[in-house]
Structure 1
Amino acid sequence: MAESTHDVATKDAGNYQYIKQKLMVLLVGQIASCMIAGTSIISYTLANEYNIDMPAMQSFLNYLFLFAIYGSIYCANHSFGTTFRKKWMTYLFLAFVDVEANYCIVKAFGYNSLVTVMLFDCATIFFIVLLTMFYLKIRYNWRHFLGIILCVVGVSLQAITGYNKEEGRLIGNFLGILSSILYAISNIGQEKVVKDSGILEFLAFIGFFGVQISGLQVLALEHQQILQFRWNWSAVGLFLGFVCFMYVLYSLTPYIMKFAGSTWFNLSLRTSNGIGAVFEIYVFKKNIYPIYWLFLSIVIIGLCIYHINKPPKTKNPTRDPQIPAV
């Protein structure tokens, strides 16, 4: 039986909405990628151009800004105390993992080059896929795996060609891998929390606990550097730029997690490597192998293959989440 005009129109509208949502997620993912590139470039500049080694302080300012804005909105519309009593252990754990992941990755920029640290951070993809399969029960099809494999192969080849033994110091490499494990745990927890409890609650409490944890680290590890450092407007501007980039990144991340999941979020961030490479060449005046761009193209192809497929399924599928309002 031929489809009625109404059925055809409904189907076309559904396809249009699906394509629109796909493009929106793609766009938001690339904005997040630009933000991650910005934070990496600023962290590298602070560590190598200004000799500022204050990763906990950078995180503290970020969480303070998050709690000041999202915490205020949450307290004005919800019972902060009630939620705190019910879920404080969950948010304390997520905040601790997130704070330490940020600390490790920023600290690594003091040991290795910009591109090297960003490439080691790509290991997050591997840990994310494992955790989503075993913890969130996500089922990927062969097309998803093809896209993931291309991304992993692309960044691995980038790492091999761009690796320099003089720059590849053991401590920096260890911090990069450790941060990728912590980010994977943080992202999986964040995906589950934002789908269960909402974006505003997550941002308010991650800011609340993040301020306290990073604040303690500042007092314990960096108070002498803060007192002794001769502050100037350039350094202050970089700190403020870092906070702004992180604020936008943290504001966008829960939307991507809720709509597309942590795997797509981490895959979309891989294009930040190209931005980092451009700054490495033209700003920091360092050499990168030309074939690096071919390998970056492999990453982009992998992203496209992953994203044009329908989202991965869970063993207990639910209605696809829509991008919500805060």
Structure 2
Amino acid sequence: MLNIRISILSPTGKLFTQGYILKTIILGQMLSLFICGTAVTSQYLAEQYQVNTPMFQSFINYSLLLLVYTTMLAFRTGNDSLLQILKQRWWKYVFLGLADVEANYMIVKAYQYTTLTSVQLLDCFGIPVLMALSWFILRARYKLIHFIAVAICLLGVGTMVGADILAGRQDSEGSDVVIGDVLVLLGASLYAISNVSEEYIVKNLSRVEFLGMVGLFGTIISGLQLITVHSICPVSD
């Protein structure tokens, strides 16, 4: 029996074998499953228990990253140490941490205003934003089929927003639904910025550096925002 080995050559010249592609697909599906779980639980907390704590939820995530990966960086020596990374590019991670924190905040906050379905579908708006950023920053190039897919994606976004507005008017909640949809679109755009930065850092620097620095500055930024919001409005963040 012939042993067929599938391989794909990426634009960067890296050879993608069948096993590599299969591993990528499996990891992607696992990630989607976890994201779905986060979405369902966030919606459930907001609707059933009126627990609206988007910044506190993000703060916990960043704190765990800080505990694991920033600690790993702290024990490194040389140019890859935490101190050297902070000296060389701390301000870049400030902007990256801010984008990532606000993206998480806006997406979770949106569950208070709109439906789970709308959030999940409108979140795909990050795809065309990510493609545009990858084109200019990562020098990625796309084929016609990719642009057709983006056009369909944008058409779906417009249709979903329109459907939410019409449904919201019937339920006398039009303004709240629009706020939720806008939060999702803004959050998806910030996620695109974070994801492009993540790809660049992981490929050119290291995965531990990305997670460690996002954990460090994400914890600081989300913590400050959490304190500020609670001092203004103690019942919600």
Q: Into which bin does the TM-score normalised by the smaller protein fall?
A: 0.7 to 0.9
1:119 CA drift (Å): 1.5
Where 1:118 maps in the other structure, the secondary structure is helix
1:217 matches 2:225: yes
Aligned AA for 1:85?
A: K
Question: Within 5 Å, which residues of 2 pair with 1:297-312?
Answer: none
Where 1:24 maps in the other structure, the secondary structure is helix
**Alignment match, 1:125:** 127
**Alignment match, 1:21:** 20
**Alignment match, 1:100:** 102
Question: Within 5 Å, which residues of 2 pair with 1:174-323?
Answer: 174-222=182-230, 224-225=234-235
Find the aligned partners of 1:23 and 1:145 in 2 and give their Cα distance.
Answer: 25
**Alignment match, 1:49:** 48
Aligned AA for 1:187?
A: N
**Alignment match, 2:68:** 69
**Alignment match, 1:278:** none
Contact 1:54–1:222 under 8 Å retained in 2: no
Contact 2:73–2:212 under 8 Å retained in 1: yes
CA RMSD after TM alignment: 2.7
**Alignment match, 2:115:** 113
1:161 CA drift (Å): 9.4
160 and 88 in structure 1: CA distance in 2 versus 1, 3 angstrom threshold? closer
Aligned AA for 1:197?
A: L
1:25 CA drift (Å): 0.7
Find the aligned partners of 1:65 and 1:26 in 2 and give their Cα distance.
Answer: 26
Aligned AA for 1:113?
A: T
Contact 1:119–1:158 under 8 Å retained in 2: no
1:222 CA drift (Å): 2.9
Contact 2:55–2:105 under 8 Å retained in 1: yes
1:143 CA drift (Å): 4.0
Deviations 1:50-106 (Å, cap 9, x if unpaired)?
111111100000000011011122222342111111110111110000000101111
Question: What are structure 1's unaligned runs of at least 5 residues?
Answer: 1-7, 227-326
Where 1:139 maps in the other structure, the secondary structure is coil
Find the aligned partners of 1:186 and 1:215 in 2 and give their Cα distance.
Answer: 19
Deviations 1:144-167 (Å, cap 9, x if unpaired)?
4455556x2795498379643246
Where 1:138 maps in the other structure, the secondary structure is coil
Question: What are structure 2's unaligned runs of at least 5 residues?
Answer: 9-14
1:190 CA drift (Å): 1.4
Find the aligned partners of 1:14 and 1:39 in 2 and give their Cα distance.
Answer: 34
1:48 CA drift (Å): 1.2
Contact 2:114–2:180 under 8 Å retained in 1: yes
Aligned AA for 1:176?
A: V
Find the aligned partners of 1:34 and 1:137 in 2 and give their Cα distance.
Answer: 30
**Alignment match, 2:11:** none
Aligned AA for 1:62?
A: N
Contact 2:5–2:18 under 8 Å retained in 1: no
Deviations 1:180-206 (Å, cap 9, x if unpaired)?
111111111111121221100110010
82 and 142 in structure 1: CA distance in 2 versus 1, 3 angstrom threshold? same
149 and 54 in structure 1: CA distance in 2 versus 1, 3 angstrom threshold? same
Aligned residues between the structures: 217
Contact 1:44–1:109 under 8 Å retained in 2: yes
225 and 17 in structure 1: CA distance in 2 versus 1, 3 angstrom threshold? same
Aligned AA for 1:76?
A: F
Contact 1:56–1:222 under 8 Å retained in 2: no
Where 2:75 maps in the other structure, the secondary structure is helix
- TM norm structure 1: 0.60
Per mean C-alpha deviation after superposition, the further-off stretch among 80-89 and 165-174 is 165-174
Find the aligned partners of 2:6 and 2:120 in 1 and give their Cα distance.
Answer: 40
**Alignment match, 1:318:** none
Find the aligned partners of 1:54 and 1:181 in 2 and give their Cα distance.
Answer: 21
